[in-house]
Chains A and B, each alone.
Chain A
Amino acid sequence: DAGITQSPRHKVTETGTPVTLRCHQTENHRYMYWYRQDPGHGLRLIHYSYGVKDTDKGEVSDGYSVSRSKTEDFLLTLESATSSQTSVYFCATRGQGLIYGYTFGSGTRLTVV
């Protein structure tokens, strides 16, 4: 496995506050992804990165930004958290070969109150 660490594992925050979730990987994978998981929706892509400083939007990117200044770290920021962003957030990475699926982190459960 890729050795993916997400932090924090759980977080409760108030509406309107900024929140940053961190994903750290130790396998030097080029591709990294942020998904959110909600009941009845499965996993939906927020943002992804195909290299340092190279990022792109997914299907549910509104209200989120990302940064990748180092290969091993991919940060997801909620600029001003809203209750609709209460979710479980997963980071994933992929190796270079197309055959590979993702390797996932353990997820961060974020509650916005």
Chain B
Amino acid sequence: AQTVTQSQPEMSVQEAETVTLSCTYDTSESDYYLFWYKQPPSRQMILVIRQEAYKQQNATENRFSVNFQKAAKSFSLKISDSQLGDAAMYFCAYRSYRDDKIIFGKGTRLHILP
């Protein structure tokens, strides 16, 4: 069974600085999707970025980018120029091509220090 591990329960970063959230996963499959979701205090789950495993190029969405290392089964999220609105819980998630279900990590709570 696939698993997703986020080893940092909490992190803090100074406003305007860069922070990287770690995620590793375990799978025996070669085709899959990876996602980062953001959950602010409003509780709404927001898709931040996604990566297809067959693409070597790392996905980027404005200030958010990923470092996808397929061999190492690592999928970290980098947030540049951190803003107060980035404070949230961040979830890493995995889905196999062959499965309808998404598996989530336990989350990393990110604090932004003014």
Measuring CB to CB, which residues of chain A are less than 8 angstroms from any residue of chain B?
31, 33, 35, 40-45, 48, 50, 58, 88, 90, 92, 94, 98-99, 101-104, 106-107
Contacts and interface: CB of A to CB of B under 8 A. Distances in A.
Nearest to A103: B47
Given A90-B45, A106-B44, A101 B106 contact: no
Interface of A is mostly: strand
Q: Which range holds the interface residue count of chain B? A: 20 to 34
B102 interface: yes
Nearest to A35: B104
Nearest to A45: B101
B43 A101 contact: no
A50 B45 contact: no
A50 B101 CA distance: 10
Contacts of A92: 45
Contact of A43 (B44, B50, B91): B91
A88 B43 contact: yes
A99 to B, nearest CB: 7
Contacts, number: 50
A36 B76 CA distance: 24
Contacts of A50: 100
A101 B50 contact: yes
A43 to B, nearest CB: 4
A36 to B, nearest CB: 11
A98 B97 contact: yes
Contact of A106 (B43, B97, B100, B103): B43
A80 to B, nearest CB: 26
B50 A104 contact: no
A72 to B, nearest CB: 18
A49 to B, nearest CB: 10
Given A88-B43, A102-B47, 14 more contacts: A31-B100, A33-B102, A41-B106, A45-B103, A92-B45, A99-B50, A101-B35, A101-B50, A101-B95, A102-B102, A104-B44, A106-B42, A106-B44, A107-B44
B105 A42 contact: yes
B44 A48 contact: no
A90 B42 CA distance: 13
